[in-house]
Amino acid sequence: MRFVKNVNKAITGLTNVPEGVTPFVTDDAIVTPKTDQNGQQTPVTVTVKYRDKATGKAIDDISVNVDVPVNVVGSTPTSKVVFEGDELTAKDITDAVTQGKWNQRRA
């Protein structure tokens, strides 16, 4: 989730955005960093496209690549006992995981 926020932050930090367009990232451009390590990782390059403000249509021949920082945090699962016949819900599983803390330095 923080990765998406970092992508959005990178988009808002773009300079020299052409007049009359809005930068955006398509859902397929959001990637999951390929790592199994916690901590700062190699930035991921995401292609930012532009949408015409007047028509709302994407402009296919204009795009820019943006490097997005990646900081992987671990999470801690707790044990869950399920007896035969009991149902385990998605909420049960989500509640059994404590998300890692993400420390963001303020600029």
pLDDT one-digit tens code per residue, 23-59? 887 776 666 777 777 788 888 888 888 888 889 888 8
**Residues 80-89 pLDDT 10s:** 888 999 988 8
pLDDT at 30: 66
Q: Span 76-80, mean pLDDT?
A: 84
The two three-digit tokens of residue 12, written as one number: 């808002």
pTM, full prediction:
0.52
